[in-house]
Amino acid sequence: MIKTEWNQYYPFNKKCPVITDTLSLVGCTPLAMSQLMRKWEWPINGIGLNTDSWPETSLETIDFSTAIYDYNNMARFADSSSSAAIQNAVSTLSYHAGVALNVSYGIRATSGDDKYIPNIISTHFNYTSQLKSKAMEYTDLSFWIDSLKTTMISGTPVLYSAKWDTEDTSWHTWIVDGYKTLEDQFHFNMGWWSESICL
C-alpha cells in the first residue's frame, strides 16, 4: 500500500534543525506519519500553530495553516539529485510532522512518541478524531494478528512501534502495509529507503 521509499536523511531532513554544523535526523515517527499522509494526499494545509524546542537550537514555531503540502512533488524516492521541488515537498512534510509531534531532534537519533499521533494528526492535519492508539501488551496475540489482517484487507496501513527486544530502551516506528495470506506474513515499510521486511 505504501509506495514511498523514504528515509531520515537528506533531502527529507533538509529543514530539520542544524546541530553542531550537522542536519539532525527526521525521526522514525515523523517519517512514518509523513508517509501515511503522502499516501492519502491529505491535508493540503494544516491547522493552527505549534512550537518545538531542542537543546542547542532555538525555538521553532510552525503555522501549519499557511503551509501547502505539495503531494504531486512528493516522489516515491528522493535523494540529493532530486529536483528542488521534490526536495522541498518531502522535507516540508517531514519537518512539519516532527514539529507537530514535539520531537527531540538529534544527529544520531530523533525521538518522538507515536502515541500522540491520533491527537496530533486530528488537531493539526484535519484527520478524523476516531483514530486510536492501541497497546499490544494488553491484547491477546491471536486477536492482535487478526485485527491487523482485517485492517490490511480493508486497505488501511497501520503505524506500528516496538522495541527490538525487552532489554532495548529505544523504539522504532514503521508502517505495516500488507499481508501475504499464503505465507502468513506482514509487510513492513521500515523507513529505510527501499528496504522492507516480511515477518
8 Å CB contact between 194 and 7: no
Radius of gyration of the chain (CA): 17
Greater model confidence, 167 or 140: 140
Type and span of the H or E element at 31: helix 28-40
Task: For residue 199, give Cα distances in angstroms to 58, 173, 178, 181, 185.
Answer: 41, 15, 11, 12, 5
Measured CA to CA, the distance from residue 95 to residue 16 in angstroms comes to: 6
Give Cβ neighbours of residue 91 (< 8 Å, ≥ 6 apart).
11, 12, 13, 14, 15, 16
Which CATH number among 3.60.110.10, 3.30.910.30, 3.40.50.1820, 3.10.450.50 corresponds to the domain 18-123? 3.30.910.30
- Crossing angle of the two packed helices 84-100 and 28-40, in degrees rounded to 10: 120
Domain ranges for the chain, please list them: 18-123, 136-198
Q: 128 forms bridges with which residues in the sheet? A: none
pLDDT tens digits along 2-49: 989 999 999 999 999 998 899 999 999 999 999 999 999 999 999 999
8 Å CB contact between 43 and 122: no
8 Å CB contact between 36 and 128: no
Measured CA to CA, the distance from residue 23 to residue 94 in angstroms comes to: 13
DSSP letter (8 states) at residue 76: S
Q: Which three cell numbers stand for residue 185?
A: 506474513
8 Å CB contact between 81 and 106: no
pLDDT value for 38: 98
pLDDT value for 193: 67
pLDDT tens digits along 104-158: 999 999 988 888 899 999 999 999 877 777 777 667 888 888 888 999 999 999 9
